[in-house]
């Protein structure tokens, strides 16, 4: 009887844990809890297949639960943004006078960016102000809600598009709540545009064999990128180098930089793959968010392939609003630098992100200038040996910038560069490979898969699509088993959760 009571108590604790937010273990796609919950979610989702409103309500509630498990009680911010932008879009639609329409969209900007500035930048800006006036500032204890940068930008795309008369506002609050909170992309993107997603909301639920197979392929590949490659090389090598760069030789630091370049790509593109794959299983299409970015032969091409939903958002709603390339070359170069400066700041309230953004902005401006000087046409791609060296130079420039992105302190970044350029010690490379052979085997595999021709990925996708249902299930089980075998003792949150 006593053993039964103890077992019952344990079960109650486990049941309570399902519904209570744990800051030490936020819910992520690669966690066992999510995989079990998603299996139950799919059953209910299919039962509501013919009842559109009930299905939308169920998914919206599950999305709020998912956000609560990721960020705690701050889910009320998601509700605030949803209700305010839904109403403001209606006010804009009913207003004919231009300055009044502008007033409503400015109010939307103030609410969304105001929330973003308070939770993300209050301490940063206050510290700068205190330094300027010669005072001191004690940082406030402000919790950064997961994904606030993503859902505020997503909601802003809706109000701005309504203001520009590119879309009509929704008439049903549930539909808009569904759009803003849709859990696959809620906490780490991709940033889904209203004009792309809203037309899909009330369509009859339909998942073709191609959609289902591609969704399974993306989920499996995303899990492999995140939970196998990214987490393993991070815990077992990259973190050690970046935490204490002066304890390691230059060759070890350089390999750590290459490791981080692969880690952040596999981590973020892995999340995007899973988000797009899960959405496909639910009958929704998202645009691609990563397109083999390290194959880029220029910084301009890199930003057409890396975090496409953010780079296109910055282009359409910031760069073009600043004037784009319509006001002369000098203004265009300045707009590029300003856009990337703000893009860097979007990633976090820290000078390292600002510097990272500025470096990319200057590189974009220099590339545009070079294109003009050499007479090359926009979008013209290089080939052969010129492309090879373009990819090599671009990759190493991006890796150089990752050093400042990863290190919170400028001095730590300089320590890494100093080790690389003054204490390289290439003779240690064989010992390094021998000591970390598992890490380097995964790094080699990760880069190999990244640089293979696109036709290989399409062939793999088609193979998964053609698999019978049992084959797809076996593939998922094998991948989950592999993740369990490779994972560390602690859950490794997605890197972009902090942004």
Nearest to 281 by CA among 223, 206, 186, 191: 206
Give the pLDDT score at 70: 80
Nearest to 412 by CA among 337, 492, 350: 350
**Helix, strand or coil for residue 153?**
helix
Q: Are 379 and 283 in contact (CB under 8 A)?
A: no
* Dihedral sign (CA 149, 34, 234, 433): negative
Nearest to 480 by CA among 63, 39, 25, 15: 39
- Catalogue the active-site residues: 347
Give the pLDDT score at 302: 95
Q: Would you give the distance in Å from CA 305 to the centre of its chain?
A: 13
**Helix, strand or coil for residue 181?**
helix
Q: How is residue 382 annotated by DSSP? A: P
Q: What is the mean pLDDT of the chain?
A: 87
pLDDT of 391 over the 70 cut:
yes
pLDDT digits (tens, 9 = 90+) for 325-358: 888 888 889 999 999 999 998 888 788 999 999 9
Within 8 A by CB and 6+ apart from 451, the residues are: 292, 294, 295
Distance, first Cα to last Cα, the chain: 50
* Alpha-carbon distances of 350 from 23, 123, 366, 398, 404, rounded to whole Å: 23, 10, 25, 19, 11
Q: Are 70 and 146 in contact (CB under 8 A)?
A: yes
Give the pLDDT score at 4: 47
Give the pLDDT score at 132: 79
Q: Would you give the distance in Å from CA 297 to the centre of its chain?
A: 23
Q: What whole-number distance in Å separates Cα of residue 357 and Cα of residue 345? A: 7
Q: How confident is the model at residue 277 (pLDDT cuts 50, 70, 90)?
A: very high
> What does the DSSP assignment read for 254-305?
HHHHHHHHHHHHHHHHHHHHHHHHHHHHTT---------GGG-SSHHHHHHH
Q: Would you give the distance in Å from CA 59 to the centre of its chain?
A: 21
pTM exceeds 0.85:
yes
pLDDT digits (tens, 9 = 90+) for 215-267: 999 999 998 998 889 989 998 999 999 999 999 999 999 999 999 999 999 99
pLDDT digits (tens, 9 = 90+) for 423-436: 999 898 899 999 89
């Amino acid at each position: 009887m006593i053993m039964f009571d103890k077992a019952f108590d344990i079960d109650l604790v486990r049941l309570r844990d399902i519904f209570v937010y744990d800051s030490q273990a936020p819910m992520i796609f690669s966690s066992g809890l999510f995989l079990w919950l998603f299996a139950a979610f799919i059953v209910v989702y299919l039962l509501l297949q013919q009842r559109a409103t009930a299905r939308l309500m169920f998914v919206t509630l599950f999305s709020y639960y998912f956000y609560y498990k990721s960020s705690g009680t701050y889910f009320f911010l998601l509700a605030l943004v949803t209700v305010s932008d839904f109403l403001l879009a209606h006010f804009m639609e009913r207003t004919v006078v231009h300055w009044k329409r502008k007033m409503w969209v400015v109010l939307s900007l103030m609410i969304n960016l105001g929330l973003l500035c308070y939770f993300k930048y209050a301490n940063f800006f206050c510290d700068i102000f205190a330094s300027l006036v010669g005072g001191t500032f004690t940082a406030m204890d402000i919790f950064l809600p997961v994904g606030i940068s993503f859902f505020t930008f997503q909601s802003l795309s809706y109000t701005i598009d309504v203001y520009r008369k590119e879309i009509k506002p929704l008439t049903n609050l549930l539909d808009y709540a569904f759009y803003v909170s849709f859990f696959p992309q809620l906490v780490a993107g991709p940033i889904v545009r209203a004009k792309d997603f809203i037309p899909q909301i009330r369509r009859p639920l339909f998942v073709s064999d191609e959609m289902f197979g591609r969704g399974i392929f993306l989920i499996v590949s995303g899990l492999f990128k995140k939970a196998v490659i990214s987490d393993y090389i991070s815990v077992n090598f990259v973190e050690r180098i970046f935490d204490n760069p002066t304890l390691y030789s230059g060759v070890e630091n350089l390999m750590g930089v290459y490791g981080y370049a692969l880690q952040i790509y596999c981590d973020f593109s892995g999340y995007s793959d899973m988000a797009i794959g899960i959405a496909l299983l639910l009958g929704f299409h998202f645009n691609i968010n990563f397109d083999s970015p390290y194959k880029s032969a220029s910084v301009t091409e890199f930003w057409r392939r890396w975090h496409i939903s953010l780079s296109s958002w910055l282009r359409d709603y910031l760069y073009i609003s600043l004037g784009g390339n319509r006001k002369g070359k000098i203004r265009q170069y300045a707009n590029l630098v300003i856009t990337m400066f703000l893009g860097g700041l979007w990633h976090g309230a820290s000078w390292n992100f600002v510097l990272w953004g500025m470096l990319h902005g200057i590189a974009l401006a220099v590339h545009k200038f070079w294109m003009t000087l050499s007479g090359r046409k926009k979008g013209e791609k290089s080939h052969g040996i010129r492309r090879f060296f373009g990819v090599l130079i671009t990759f190493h420039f991006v890796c150089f910038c990752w050093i400042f992105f990863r290190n919170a302190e400028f001095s730590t970044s300089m320590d890494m560069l100093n080790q690389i350029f003054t204490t390289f010690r290439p003779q240690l490379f064989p010992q390094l490979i021998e000591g970390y052979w598992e890490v380097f085997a995964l790094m080699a595999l990760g880069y190999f898969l990244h640089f293979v021709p696109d036709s290989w990925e399409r062939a793999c996708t088609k193979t998964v699509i053609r698999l019978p249902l049992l084959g797809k299930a076996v593939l998922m089980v094998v991948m989950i088993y592999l993740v369990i075998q490779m994972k560390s003792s602690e859950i490794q949150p997605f890197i972009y959760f902090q942004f």
